[in-house]
Structure 1
Amino acid sequence: MPILTKLYSMQEASQHNTKNDCWIVIDGKVYDVSPYLDDHPGGDDVVLEVTGKDAKEAFEDAGHSQDARELMETFCIGELDPSMPELQEVKISTKKEPANLDQRLKDIPLQYWAFPVAVVGVSIIVGFFYLRKK
């Protein structure tokens, strides 16, 4: 009797991207590595960095041993569904990473910067008229 493998989409795998719920994808296989994050020799941040995308390159670049590869298989929970489209790129932002200043300024609603700009403008006009009288 064949063993049934659970199929997941890359989008579904990418939603599991926290320390308490972390899935990674390597070579089309989906791994729930949540219980191993505290024990990972490279730290949990390197694993969390590759959630939501195929982590094969990062895994291979780290030079994992055969023991690590065997241990990894114990965390396998399924495979990627080949009929589902893959995500192009998922960016997980952290509080440590400052946002682009230009983008932050664009995200500020008009009401928050219009009043200070108006006060400065009125101050300049009043100052101009005041100096003109002298």
Structure 2
Amino acid sequence: MPTLTKLYSMQEAAEHNSAGDCWIVVDGKVYDVSSYLEEHPGGDDVLLQVTGKDATDEFEDAGHSKSARELMETFCVGELDPSDIPQLEVVSEKQKSYIPEKLVHLSKQYWVAPVAVVGVSVVVTFLYLRRK
């Protein structure tokens, strides 16, 4: 029989935000890392900084090893309620056409200065050679 996983809201996880009671959320799972704070190689302040929010990006950016990921699973107390996981925004058709237009405008803007420099240098060279 499969084990039922306890679901927590982000608000519930955020309430555990002290050195004696520290929960973090990574990849939709909730971890009670209170007993691991002193042993954490990066220091307890690293974990305390990410309580009350999704720490997935910070966890991935740190480049944790396979053994660190396995150890982390021993601290898992449940999963984040799916309704608390942010959903990707759907881009409307109007916005889709606006994005390439904006990129074209920006690319034109960044070509103005180099083209102006080349143009001025051609004119100066032409005038210099004409004087000789």
Instruction: Confirm or deny a common fold (TM above 0.5).
Output: yes
User: Quick check: which has more Rg, 1 or 2?
Assistant: 2
Query: What secondary structure sits across from 2:35 in the alignment?
Result: helix
2:21 maps to 1:21: yes
Aligned residues: 86
Q: Which amino acid aligns with 2:54?
A: D
Partner residue of 1:8? 8
Question: Following superposition of structure 1 onto structure 2, how do residues 1-134 of structure 1 map, counting pairs within 5 Å?
Answer: 1-84=1-84
CA-atom RMSD, angstroms? 1.2
> Within 2, Cα distance between the matches of 1:48 and 1:7?
22
Q: Deviations over 1:66-121 (max 9, x none)?
A: 010000000000001113476xxxxxxxxxxxxxxxxxxxxxxxxxxxxxxxxxxx
Structure 1: gaps (5+ residues)? 87-134
Structure 2: gaps (5+ residues)? 87-132
TM-score (norm 2): 0.63
> Within 1, Cα distance between the matches of 2:2 and 2:32?
23
Q: Which amino acid aligns with 2:21?
A: D
Q: CA deviation at 1:65?
A: 0.6
Does the 8 Å CA contact 2:28/2:85 hold for their aligned counterparts?
Answer: no
Identity rate of aligned residues, in percent?
Answer: 76
Partner residue of 1:109? none
Larger helix fraction of residues: 2
